[in-house]
Amino acid sequence: MRAVFGILLVLIAWYLLHFLFPSSLILPGPVETFKVFIKMLNRETFEALLSTLLKGLVSTFIVIAVGLPVGFFMGISDRVYEFLRPLVTVVQAVPVVSWLVVVIFLWGIGWQGPVVISSLSLIPVAIFTTVSGVRSVDRKLLEVMKVYRVPRRMILKEVYLGSIWPFVLSILEVSSGNVWKAVVMGEYLCGDSGLGVLISWARQYVDVPRVYALTIFTVVLGISFERSVKVLARRVWKKWRLS
């Protein structure tokens, strides 16, 4: 029910802004945009949506596959942390436009650009979040388990994974919620398919209502994926704890 009130609040604010700026070139009204949205429920939009979804899934997988192990080893070893921290910091600080130039030089226009740009944008966040999770582990508890020669597999499962899981959830939520913005931006700048490419074409034809309708598609996709990942992750965690 709260979500319905939230959507109504957004629509009211949209109407008011459209009343203040009554131009379709600046801010088309909700009714006009919704009509365009309905017209766009076709095969072209579905294929673009599928392309963006696939890139988002690949990017999220890369972020988790790279961010978690690298962050884990940086968290348990000060030497690894000091050795890799400058590299991760540089990756985090490099502007997206610089990555864009490198990607275009390497692969040109294609699917690789959006995947690489979105992955590089989120991997440093995943790494530093995992480091924080690993370093939050109780050191005294680790020393006690070593004294009693508890198997490493049990220490990894019961201590490290149990402590960093909230941070893993945080990584999944941040990555799944932000990856779409990065992927669509990458598609807009150097992609050959996807919602970002459709937005780029709509911009070239000054079709502003279509831009807003595609933005709604992206928002719905992002929220749906974020909620799905959150529910799935919590179920996996619950099942793992009961095992």
Chain segment 76-112, per-residue pLDDT in tens: 888 999 999 999 999 888 888 888 888 888 888 888 8
> In Å, how far from its chain's centre is CA 239?
25
* pLDDT of 1 higher than 70: no
| Structure confidence at residue 68 (pLDDT) | 86
Question: Which of the listed ranges 134-138, 154-158, 202-206, 237-241 does the model predict with the highest average pLDDT?
Answer: 202-206
Token pair listed for 134: 């690993």
Instruction: Give whole-number Cα distances, 151 to 141, 162, 166, 237, in Å.
Output: 14, 16, 23, 22
Which residue type sits at 52? Answer: T
| CA pair distance 121, 99, nearest whole angstrom | 10
| Structure confidence at residue 58 (pLDDT) | 92
The single-letter DSSP state of residue 22 is: -
* pLDDT of 167 higher than 80: no
Tell me the average pLDDT across 18-26.
77
Phi, psi of 29 (to 5 degrees): -70, 165
